[in-house]
Amino acid sequence: MDCNVSSAKLRHYRRTNITFSTLFSIYCSMIIFTVSISIPAIGEPVVKEESSTFFSIDESPVDQWQTVNGSGNNLAHSDWGSAGDELKRISSVNFTDNISTMANTDFSNPREISNTICTETEQINDTRGLSSINAFWGEFVRNDIQLTSHQNSQHEGGMEESHILIPVDDEIMNPTHATDAKIKYIRTEFIAGTGTDDNNPREYANEVSSWIDGSSIYGHSVASQDVLRTGEGGLMKVTDWQGHDMIPAFDYEGFVPTWDGSRTHANLQFVLGDGRNLDHIGISSLHLLFLLEHNRLADAFQKRNPDWSDEQLFQKARKLVIAQIQVITYSEYLPSLGIDLPTYSGYDETVNPQISNEFFLLVATSVESQRTDGWLRLNASRAEISEGNLDLNQGYWSSDYLLEAGVEPLMRGAAYEIQRENDLHLAPSLRNLMSGAMWGGWMDDCAMDIQRGRDRGLTDYNSIRESLGLGLYDNWSNLTSDVELQEQLASVYADINHMDAVVGVLAEPRLPNSSFGESQYQLAFDQYSSLRDGDRHWYANDPELVSLISELNQTRLADIILRNSEVESIQCNVFYAESNSDKYDCHLSNMEVNDPSVAASQLEYNIMTVVGVSVIVILIAVPLLVTKRNQELETDSAGHQTQEEEE
């Protein structure tokens, strides 16, 4: 709208210029004021109150950093902890033929065991009040330090199938009582050249680096990392999803920097450093928060050091993201589980950080036991969002609900609710209802964990305890005081010396102030000690981080959430559930939030305001102008009459 009035029009209305000019000026001013104060910032992520960017007076580019695949950390043993390093065995191999065939083939069917002892008849929450974020973080770290793949179609000789027979009386998975119904299971890929004879049984490679190095974020190879980097400003790729940064999306043409949700991109897929971080919306949310933390730091470094190269900015931000993951894991996560490691005393070059087969199979998988049977999604007032909460299966193998409401409702909900107790019982959706993304069909995490141990030649429960230097149990009552559990175990196993190790460790009573029984505790204690003490690049051993140690040691996962999302208040230790808003003792205000729905509503409001102002001005102006014109006509008429009388 043109708010400038031509000189001709001003001359035409010269005799009414006071009224018209005033009204017209008010009209233009109201329009300009209304629009100027209400135009939203389109396409900008949340702007937060100022927070730490790890500034130091002697700030300089980093000279050394962890390699992408973890090699070269130990200068004398460059392969220690690297991707492809062999998983070590703490206990003796237990293949039926001592070479490669499935172990414990004389034990009961895994699904039958699951139906007997893993069925959840009542929800038992964690007795120490751990939040669901605890289970999320456990899986996040697990994906960072270990991976073994199942065989695929490229496996020489074809995939080895060891499907789990579903009992004919299984009313949930086998309602038709078929005799050939199965839960699909493909055996684990093993190291080529192993599994040839008694002296060379099958062994397995850890396909990712053992170090806690953020590899699930940054990728496990230079090639995969390059795909995830922008190549400018040290930044990682993120896709602008309706004004918000989201995990990077790709289509058949490549990276999609902006996506509005329409079908303009064929075969759109989200791509991460480790595809397992897309398994469910909980772990995807954590992944996104650390992507944004990386970019937040890279931006800050570039502003302070405009002459730094993309590589210098990237490696500086990466090093600090890794450091924060290490701090959170050892200062918050492990203590929340009751694991009390000795104070760090420095790097020990004699320590091999190899992930053990036993830790992999008996500890890392226990996060499944701790998962609740749904997704709590809460607003800032900790009330359920309008889109509602979700069933557990809705949040698996799809990012739709992450796109729908963002990370904020999920993080608030996970920090609010208490997770399940770490025991044998699984949420129903993890035992019965979930269709697996890898093979399709039914999926039962309890049965598959049992089958995975047999696939990898894991020995029995008492033999595991013996290998750990723990005492052996000679009957069920020694293991547990729960009489019902004693009876259940006796119904599916011949005796305590013939029990799958994963069942035994989860049946153990918890140690005081711990989420683990004796066996899991010892395995976790040893593994996390070696990962820290054998890491030359550990943040507390890094000379380039000396000036930042104090600040790093104060970092909490709550800080990562607050800095990189629209969450403004949360409990400082998010590993413990908190529903009392008075105890949300960590805060970081939003300075500017771009909500597309608010932007659309604001635009509609602007239009209606303009229309409303126009109507008001017209209603006021027309009567005034008419009245003024009538007065002028009367004056003209009176003047003409006087002139005639004078004549």
Instruction: Indicate whether 28 and 168 sit together in one domain.
Output: no
Question: What residues contact residue 276 under an 8 Å CB cut-off, 6+ apart?
Answer: 143, 147, 216, 283
Instruction: Indicate whether 17 and 148 sit together in one domain.
Output: no
- Tell which residue, 147, 63, 135, has the closest CA to residue 319: 63
Q: Does a structural domain hold residue 241?
A: no
Using DSSP, state whether 264 is helix, strand or coil. coil
565 in Cβ contact with 47 (< 8 Å): no
152-to-189, 272, 396, 442 alpha-carbon distances in Å: 8, 21, 22, 19
Instruction: Indicate whether 320 and 198 sit together in one domain.
Output: yes
What is d(CA 422, CA 443) in angstroms, rounded to the nearest whole number?
20
Joined together, the tokens standing for residue 46 give: 């949340």
Q: Does a structural domain hold residue 452?
A: yes
488-to-64, 119, 272, 503 alpha-carbon distances in Å: 55, 11, 42, 12
Question: What residues contact residue 616 under an 8 Å CB cut-off, 6+ apart?
Answer: none
Instruction: Indicate whether 601 and 513 sit together in one domain.
Output: no
Angle between helix 407-416 and helix 281-304 axes, rounded to 10 deg: 120
What is d(CA 307, CA 321) in angstroms, rounded to the nearest whole number?
22
Last residue of a domain, one of 593, 615, 636: 593
Q: Quickly list H helices, 406-517.
A: 407-416, 428, 445-455, 461-467, 476-479, 483-492, 501-507
Count of other CB atoms within 10 angstroms of residue 303: 9
110-to-38, 120, 434 alpha-carbon distances in Å: 62, 16, 17
| Integer Rg of the chain from CA | 33
pLDDT band at 550 (very low <50, low <70, confident <90, very high): very high
pLDDT in tens, 438-496: 556 788 999 999 999 999 999 999 999 999 999 999 999 999 999 999 999 999 999 99
pLDDT of residue 261: 79
The average pLDDT across 135-162 equals: 94
What is the sign of the dihedral through the CA atoms of 514, 515, 516 and 517? positive
Instruction: Indicate whether 202 and 311 sit together in one domain.
Output: yes
Q: What angle do CA 368, 431, 419 make, to 5 degrees?
A: 35
> pTM for the whole thing?
0.85
pLDDT of residue 209: 97
Ranges assigned E (strand) in 381-460? 390-391
Q: Of 33-47, 392-406, 508-522, which gets the smallest average pLDDT?
A: 33-47
The average pLDDT across 227-241 equals: 96
Q: Which pairing describes strands 47-48 and 590-592: parallel, antiparallel, or unpaired?
A: antiparallel
pLDDT in tens, 364-410: 988 889 999 999 999 999 999 999 999 998 999 888 999 999 999 99
pLDDT of residue 606: 46
Joined together, the tokens standing for residue 588 give: 């970081």
pLDDT band at 49 (very low <50, low <70, confident <90, very high): confident
pLDDT of residue 593: 63
pLDDT of residue 599: 41
What is d(CA 109, CA 451) in angstroms, rounded to the nearest whole number?
9
Amino acid at 164: I
What is the sign of the dihedral through the CA atoms of 194, 364, 523 and 479? negative
Instruction: Indicate whether 332 and 231 sit together in one domain.
Output: yes
pLDDT of residue 598: 41
pLDDT band at 153 (very low <50, low <70, confident <90, very high): confident
131 in Cβ contact with 414 (< 8 Å): yes
Query: Phi and psi for 539 in degrees, rounded to 5?
Result: -55, -35
pLDDT of residue 302: 97
pLDDT band at 630 (very low <50, low <70, confident <90, very high): low
pLDDT in tens, 184-225: 999 999 999 999 999 999 999 999 999 999 999 999 999 999
pLDDT band at 539 (very low <50, low <70, confident <90, very high): very high
Using DSSP, state whether 174 is helix, strand or coil. coil
- Tell which residue, 362, 432, 333, 350, has the closest CA to residue 392: 432
Instruction: Indicate whether 60 and 38 sit together in one domain.
Output: no
Instruction: Indicate whether 532 and 601 sit together in one domain.
Output: no
pLDDT of residue 437: 56
* Higher-confidence position of 446 and 264: 446
What CATH number has the domain bearing residue 159? 1.10.640.10
Q: Does a structural domain hold residue 262?
A: no
Question: What residues contact residue 269 under an 8 Å CB cut-off, 6+ apart?
Answer: 249, 250, 251
- Print the domain residue range for 293: 47-236+274-593
Question: What residues contact residue 377 under an 8 Å CB cut-off, 6+ apart?
Answer: 384, 385, 387, 388, 389, 390, 405, 409, 410, 412, 413
Instruction: Indicate whether 364 and 433 sit together in one domain.
Output: yes
Q: Does a structural domain hold residue 286?
A: yes
What is d(CA 582, CA 335) in angstroms, rounded to the nearest whole number?
24
Joined together, the tokens standing for residue 546 give: 């000396």
Q: Does a structural domain hold residue 249?
A: no
Q: Does a structural domain hold residue 260?
A: no
What is the sign of the dihedral through the CA atoms of 346, 352, 355 and 357? negative
How many domains does one find in the chain? 2
635 pLDDT higher than 90: no
Q: Does a structural domain hold residue 90?
A: yes
Instruction: Indicate whether 163 and 193 sit together in one domain.
Output: yes
Instruction: Indicate whether 18 and 128 sit together in one domain.
Output: no
What is d(CA 524, CA 360) in angstroms, rounded to the nearest whole number?
10
- When the pLDDT of each residue in the chain is averaged and rounded to a whole number, the result is 87
Last residue of a domain, one of 572, 593, 614: 593
Angle between helix 281-304 and helix 310-328 axes, rounded to 10 deg: 130
Instruction: Indicate whether 35 and 58 sit together in one domain.
Output: no
Q: Does a structural domain hold residue 177?
A: yes
Question: What residues contact residue 248 under an 8 Å CB cut-off, 6+ apart?
Answer: 228, 236, 237, 238, 239, 255, 256, 270, 271, 272
